[in-house]
Each structure stands twice: as structure tokens, then as C-alpha cells.
Chain A
Amino acid sequence: MNRLNLRTILILVILVTSLSVIYQNLRIQLILTGFTLFLLFSFRISKHKLHRLGHRLLSLFKLVLTILILQILFRRSGEIIWEYSFLMVTTEGLNYGLIASLRFLIIILVAGLLFDIPYYDYLLAFRSWKFPFEISFLVATIIHFVPIFNTQFKSSMEALQIRGIIMQNLPLLKRPVVYLNLLLPVLARAISEIKFRAISLELRGFRLYKDKTYLHEQKLSRLDLIIQFIALIFFLLLNLIKIIQL
């Protein structure tokens, strides 16, 4: 499929997250979640990545559920649906619980989407917006630090498994000690890796000239421009409505 330009995706991401933060409305949150999912599926091509997305969602499901339950239990206004001693479920609690967890879900999905976009796509997108290179490199590096850190942490966990150190078998109090022991080397290594990644990019002529050519032209397609335009109108309109409501 014709891939969207990263600039378009960044605009859509900003739109979705800001709307999600602004609106305390279940219907809008649902629409935004659906839209984020659509964005994810349209951007990820391979089955392998879909698999990973599934895993990521499954592992975060517990967290989203916890947020939901906490919100439900701590909101006390609105109609009471169910009550047992001090526990109480109200319409408003349910409403806010769902909104909060959907909002959280959207942020996780968006973050996942951003991590999977290659380094240099960011640099290109930022440059076309006339960001200074140093800043865009910093942003791209920070965004990519998470997956690098993640891979290294996983690899350290594997190394522990080979040694017969199985996290689940260790006493609960020991586990933080083990994690702390892993953390420093993993962090230090990830930081030193970033330096060598930058070296490798530059030794392949990155940033040699102000612009570059492309094997496959990557101009903004008409679809990109249309989507960017609609997104902008949509964003302004919804904000306008919000302001009028106030």
C-alpha cells in the first residue's frame, strides 16, 4: 500500500493525542481509539510487526484494566449502579474510567507507532519543517532510545535464563535487586551504542549535502496533502466547538 509520509502521521498523532486529552467524552475517545488503530494497521505492513503489536497490547491490558478499576471505584458522583459496603460503582465513575483507560490506550498505541518508525525518517520530517538538525537528532535519538534499551534488556533477561536465574523463581524481595543490577549496564551500553550509531550514519555520508536524492521518490503525495488539510480543519473545528461550549 501507498505509505503515508511521516509528516502526515506526526500531524495525525498530534491531532489524536491533543483531542484525547481535551475531550472528556466517551464517544470521542472511542472514535479516536478506532482511528489510532486504523493508523497503526495502515502503517504496519508485515505480519511480524502485527504479532508484536498484539503482544504489546496483551501485556499492557492489565495496566489499562487497573486504571479502569481505580477510576470506577474512586468516582462517587452520578447514579449508583451497584453498591457493596464501601464499594460503589456509579455511572460517572464508569464513564470516566472508560475515558481514562481509552486515553491511556491511545497514548500507548501512538508511542508504539512512533517507536517503529526508522530513525532517519524523523530526521527528514523534522528537516522539512526546518527544525535545526541538532534538535531533530536529539528527538530521534530519544524516541529510539526506548526500543534499543528494550532489546538490550530482553537480551540480558535471556542471558540470565541461560545462567539458570529465572525471575519468576526468585523471592519477591530479590527481584528488584536483580533488576537494579541489570539496569546500569544496560543503560550504559545503550548510551554508548547511540554514539556508534551516529558515527555509522555519518560514515555513510549522512548530511553530506543539504539535500539528497531518493531511490524511490518520497514527495508528499496528494493523499498526504489532503489528509493533512482535513486534519487541520478538523482540529480547528473541534477546538472551536470546545471554546464555544465554555
Chain B
Amino acid sequence: MLAYIIRRIGQSILVLFVVGLVAFSMFRFVGDPVDNMLGQERTQADVERLREQLGLDQPFVVQYYKFLEQAVQGNFGLSYRQGRPVAEILLERAPATLELAFVSGLLALAGGIGLGIYTAIRRRGISANAIMTLSLVGVSLPTFLIGILLIYLFSVELGWLPSFGRGEVVDLGWWTTGFLTVSGLKALILPAITLGLYQMTLIMRLVRTEMLEVLRMDYIRFARARGIREKSVNFRHALKNTLVPVITITGLQLGSIIAFAIITETVFQWPGVGLLFINAIQFVDIPVMAAYLMLISVMFVGINLIVDMLYFAIDPRLRVDRTAGGH
């Protein structure tokens, strides 16, 4: 057990090291930042000064060491496009993305588990079948089309909800929140649904399959035979036993919510980290791209590590299943 944990942590550090190397290579070899920052009218002196300022005149190894040293401290230098420290920009944008991810994660979890139980209990019902069919269509729809569809319906046609931005936000010093104003909450609804829908259908299908399996078990039949109320059987006996895989899968999905936030944030012009990343790609703003890459890798690797540990802690059988299942 201990050997396994140590090996997993070692692997995670190796992955982060490789990602760091990719990020640094981007810095060193991709594009000419000086070209990007200075316009057409520039003098040689301007170029030299900026090169020195950005540390681009130093040898490779020195730059690499500096990069690692700075990256560990969360310092990724100046954005080529905005001329401000990347860490500062990221911190400014993080609350928007985290609030969005939190709400859509909650939505996906609550909606997914709720609908999953419903479709499992009413397996042959018309509405349950309709939900299952709808979820198939939902999986096939690209995220950005769902977003556009929602905007068209609720912003353009009905005019109920805003189509872009975060609404009014309250500044708490180091955190800006949209939870405290009516316009902030209204602005959150459509992006949260867009982002959460795919995860919701995924969780729903998972819960449904697990529930159907558990409901066939003998102890459920015995519980029914003992005359325990249906509600109690479904929720206290069956649901409890479906939650282990749900928790682990949800954990893994957490990372993809952050990644897919890029698409949702672009559709709704949500001022978060994802929109920042897309703009960075468009303008080849390497420091922002590298920082985002590092940040998201730490997150993904961390989540994977924790989920793997959870497998170990909760149910050893699952670990065997997982390697055999092969996805």
C-alpha cells in the first residue's frame, strides 16, 4: 500500500516535470515575444531593452533554472499582451471560473443523481424513457451549440436572462463574487447549465446503471420482503451502495469541467481563466499559455492522485475492476 502510494506520487511528479519542460520549451522556442509586444514602429534600442527586461538575452540553462525557480513560486513573468504579471491576471480571473465550475458541478451532481435515481426506479415509465433519449441527444450536441441554443431561447427570444458577462460583482478584496447580486446570479444560470449539462448526463447514466444493478441484489429483495417502505429501500439501501463509483467518476470529471469551461466562457464572454487562455492562444501570449498549462496540470494530476487514493481507501475491488476495464 505504501509502496503503491509512493510510486503514484513519484509518477505524478514526473508528469509535472514533463509538463514543466513543455511549458518552458514554449517560452524558449515558440514565436518571438518581442515581435508580439512591440508594434511596427520600433527601434533596435527598444528591442534590446525589452529583450533584457524579459530575460531573453541570457543562455538557455540560466533561463531554464530561472523558469523553474519562478514557476514554483507561482511567478510566470509578464503577459506579452497585457504587460502585467501573469499571476496577477490569473488571480483576478480565477474567481469567475471557480464560481462557474462550482455551480455547474453542483448542478451536474444534484441533477445527475436525482434523474439517475428517477430513471432507474421508473425504468419503464414514459418520462424516464424520454429523459434517456434526450440525454443521448445532449451527449451528441457540441457544448458551444448548447450554449448558443440557450442564449437564443432565453436571451434573444424570451429576454429573461443576460447573454454575456458576469453581471454585477461584489469585490471582497481578494475575491470577486457574483453570488451576492441579482444580476450576478442571473448571469450565472445559462453558463452553469451549459457547462454542467454534459457532466449531468454522464452522472445520470452512471447512477442509473449502478442503481439498476443494485436493485437486483438479494438484500434489496429482502428489505422489500421485510416490509420496509419503498422510499427507504431506494434511498437508504440502494443509493448508498451506488455512490462509491459516482464519487470517483465525479472527481475525475471535476478536471474536465475546468477544461470545458474554456468553451462555455467563450460562448458567454465570461471573464474567467478559460477565456484568458483562448485569447492567449489567439495572440500567442506564451507566458499566459504556459502558466495556464502548469496550473491545469497541477490540478489534473492532483485530482487523479486523490481519486486513485480514494479507490484504495474505499474499495480495493474497484481498483481491480478499473485496470481490467481499461478506460
* A and B associate in one complex: no
